[in-house]
Chain A
Amino acid sequence: MLELPLVKGDPFHHVMEAILDLSDVAHVVCTTRGLNLLAVDTKHLAIVSLLFPAEDFKGYTCDEYISIGIPIRDLVNAIRCGDDKDTITLKVGEENFGTITLSFVSPEKNTVDYEFRLVDAKLERFRLPDRHFLRSKYQGSVKMPSVEFRRICKCLSNFGDEYGVISVTDEDLTYFAKGTDGDVYVEYKQQEEDTTIFKIDVREPVRLAFNPKYLNTFAKVFTLSGQVKLFLSKTHPLMVECKIGQKGRIRCFVAPKVEP
């Protein structure tokens, strides 16, 4: 049995909204310890993963291992229909396995129930990297304000939706996008005096090419947290992470473009 309390505008809802146009299904695994959501776009160029420990999720109840595929569009449409003041609960029960119920209860105790058929997610085969992998395969990381990151992603994506580059040295971070009529460069210098807001940490310079469209899709999600952390590798996908609550986190991976 699973009961997942949701609120319009919470991280779960935000992630679902963000991936609405990228993927049809979110693969959700729930245990007594918490929730793990994974969604991959249809071209397999971007993955988003949401980890939400039970202690950060007020009212979370799960007494067994549950692995389900949630139809994203149905869920988002239902949440959009709800009122901001509604208490929303996603339920998967033993008696109605194969379906999920989304219950909305208003402050006046009026209720609306949506029932969806679960879908096959087939995402178990994606195994995302752990901390050890990130330390060994990623040459650098950059911490920056999420609002600033979102602004850059929007700028890059507006300018050139196909080809962008992130470069980092121990002195600066550079974003670049190629548009049809020109290019855009954004440069951040490492500040000596305040490294709490912006901090570069690199073992060696890294240059990574990617499609800015995908990064822009996820950038809004990261504003749920004040800071984002970018992990950069010469050989592996770009990873962006933000912390949610005490121990929760959102990660996205964007597949690299490789120069011939």
Chain B
Amino acid sequence: SPTQKTLDRFFHSS
């Protein structure tokens, strides 16, 4: 089944 990604990996600034 598809895996749910979180938004952290896209918009997380270090």
Contact = CB atoms under 8 A, between A and B. Distances in A.
Q: Is the interface on chain B under 10, 10 to 19, 20 to 34, or 35 or more residues?
A: 10 to 19
Interface string B1-14: 11111111011110
A44 B2 contact: no
Contact of B4 (A45, A47, A125): A45
Contacts of A45: 4, 6-7
A211 B4 contact: yes
Secondary structure class of chain A's binding surface, majority of residues: loop
Contacts, number: 49
Interface residues of A, number: 23
Interface string A127-146: 11100000000000000000
A129 B3 contact: no
A237 B12 CA distance: 13
Contacts of A236: 10
B7 A126 contact: yes
Interface of A: 40, 43-47, 125-129, 163, 209, 211, 236-237, 253, 255-260
